Amino acid sequence: MTTIAIQLRRQIQNLVRILLGKEKSEGLRNRFVRGATGIFGLNVAMNGMIFVISLILARLLGSAGFGAYTYALSWILVLGIPAGLGMSGLLIRNVSAYQTQSAWGLMSGIIRWANRVTLFGSLGIGLLSVVILWVLGKHLDQQMLAALWLALLLLPLTAMLRIRRAIMQGLQHLVLGQLPEMLIQPLLSIILIGFAYIVTKGSMTAPWAMGINVMATVVALLISMTLFRKTVPRAVGEASPIYETKAWLGSSLFMLSVGGLHIINSRTDILMLGAIRGPEAAGIYHVANRGSELIMFILMPIYEVLSPTIANLYVRRDFDKLERIVTRSIRIILLLSLPIVVGLLIFGYWFLSLFGTNFTQGQASMTILIVGKLISIAMGPVVLLLTMTGNERYAAIGVGIGAALNVILNAFFIPLWGIEGAALATTGSIILWNSILAIWVYKRLGIHATVLGRINLRNKI
């Protein structure tokens, strides 16, 4: 076994040992390992299926049709920000803390409150969007307009699906919570795409693709509701709900700002490309961005485990253990991500050509975006650390600065350099806001969140 492999194994063993604390129970250890393995497996499966879906739709719809589809989805992601009202992060943090404290009344209260607020919020945003789309629809491409009409149905469906995922994540049911959204929904989408291909005899359009997305999401939500009822502790249902509406609302608004600005950061480039250069440029860039995101599938499962763990350790004020977990997690993520990065850099042209020859124009953009995402990984889970420890306002300010810079740079770079300009703008904003938040994590929590960690940790790792 190589030295790198030995070191990686030791890093993972240390991380597992820390996450388990002083518990020696093999049952506890096995549950953690199964959970981490399950999340990783779900992420691999989801990314694989999303790749297949993107590949099939890009081939069937063409660059313009695929661009209309992704453009509509990008708007739904942006509209989902106010619709979700920042509830996901709030629920993960508070449900985890309430479980640690056995505060079942508060848990019952926040679950009821979050469901009501999210449902009415998403429906309200959806109705407002209907009015705006009705007024402005005549100025849009008809295929894009039809896709947008259907995509609006996803607002309440996705919002309610993610509420249940967040609650189950806070309760440490990580795999079950993500199963409907990460496995059922994309798997059903592939099956329905195949059925639609037969029905339409290969002449699919963006509205057809969006309708398939909506149907798959409905099924995923129904399954999520069933799993949710089975995983919530019985004590929550028996307890009288206690409401801390003022505190929850204040935190959720900052969480909303963080999540919203983060989505804006990730979608500004596509939306502005679609507006300035048209749907074809947006479609090409979307595929390039999707390729760069392949390096993140190692990060996501570990971050899913870290979210409730950070909240739990913060309640216990165990900052030393928290810092060790963060440092080792980031080093493991980087080591496991490097082969993917090398593969994308070497075979990037071939990868993009799978979607069609037009999409190879995104190779330079994909390389630029990969650099930005690597830097983001190396800076550590700065957003998680701030939002899971009650410092969400600092996260909102930092991400907000990055979002403002992203809009300005995209407005300047896209007319000059097209899709490469969008990639440069996004990467620049990523570097800025991650650097700001890493500084604030140290000032607020005394934690070195980056891959470098503390210098004195070297002898311990």
Task: Name the nearest CA neighbour of 169 among 108, 110, 94, 265.
Answer: 94
The count of other CB atoms within 10 Å of the CB of residue 190 is: 16
Cα(99)–Cα(312) distance, integer angstroms: 9
Cα(90)–Cα(166) distance, integer angstroms: 9
pLDDT at 200: 79
Entry pTM: 0.66
Contact between 109 and 243 (Cβ < 8 Å)? yes
pLDDT at 135: 81
Q: In this structure, what are the phi and psi dihedrals at residue 11, rounded to the nearest 5 degrees?
A: -60, -45
DSSP secondary structure of 309-346:
HHHHHHHHT-HHHHHHHHHHHHHHHHHHHHHHHHHHHH
Specify the amino acid at residue 289.
Answer: N
Cα(86)–Cα(121) distance, integer angstroms: 11
Task: Name the nearest CA neighbour of 437 among 383, 377, 374, 373.
Answer: 383
Task: Name the nearest CA neighbour of 406 among 433, 384, 379, 380.
Answer: 433
Specify the amino acid at residue 210.
Answer: M
Cα(287)–Cα(310) distance, integer angstroms: 33
pLDDT tens for each residue of the chain, 461 residues long: 455 455 555 555 555 554 444 444 444 345 445 555 677 777 778 878 888 888 888 888 887 788 888 888 878 877 877 776 668 878 888 898 888 888 999 999 999 999 998 888 888 888 988 888 888 766 666 777 888 888 899 989 998 998 999 899 888 787 888 889 888 999 999 999 988 888 877 778 888 889 999 999 999 999 999 999 888 888 998 899 999 888 888 877 777 777 667 767 777 888 888 888 887 888 889 889 988 988 887 777 778 778 778 887 888 888 888 888 888 888 888 888 889 999 999 999 999 998 888 889 999 999 999 999 999 999 999 988 998 888 888 888 888 898 899 999 999 999 999 999 999 999 999 999 999 999 999 999 888 888 887 654 344 43
The count of other CB atoms within 10 Å of the CB of residue 29 is: 15
Long-range contacts of the stretch 224-229 (C-beta < 8 A, 24+): 224/161, 224/164, 224/165, 224/180, 224/181, 225/164, 227/164, 227/168, 227/173, 227/176, 227/177, 227/179, 227/180, 228/164, 228/167, 228/168
Cα(227)–Cα(176) distance, integer angstroms: 7
Contact between 359 and 352 (Cβ < 8 Å)? yes
pLDDT at 225: 92
Boundaries of domain holding 58: 3-457
Measured at the CA of 281, the angle between CA 278 and CA 285, to 5 degrees, comes to: 140
Furthest C-alpha separation in the chain: 65
| Both tokens assigned to 333 | 């993520």
Contact between 12 and 343 (Cβ < 8 Å)? no
Residues near 10 by beta carbon (within 8 Å), at least 6 away in sequence: none
Task: Name the nearest CA neighbour of 129 among 158, 157, 150.
Answer: 150
The count of other CB atoms within 10 Å of the CB of residue 460 is: 11
Cα(40)–Cα(162) distance, integer angstroms: 19
Residues near 256 by beta carbon (within 8 Å), at least 6 away in sequence: 81, 82, 84, 85, 86
Specify the amino acid at residue 426.
Answer: T
Sign of CA dihedral 111, 168, 383, 18: positive
Domains in the chain, number: 1
What three-state secondary structure class fits 356? coil
pLDDT at 27: 42
Cα(317)–Cα(440) distance, integer angstroms: 18
Contact between 359 and 287 (Cβ < 8 Å)? yes
Contact between 34 and 18 (Cβ < 8 Å)? no
Residues near 171 by beta carbon (within 8 Å), at least 6 away in sequence: 95, 96, 99, 177, 231, 232, 233
Residues near 138 by beta carbon (within 8 Å), at least 6 away in sequence: none
The residue with tokens 């000032």 is: 443
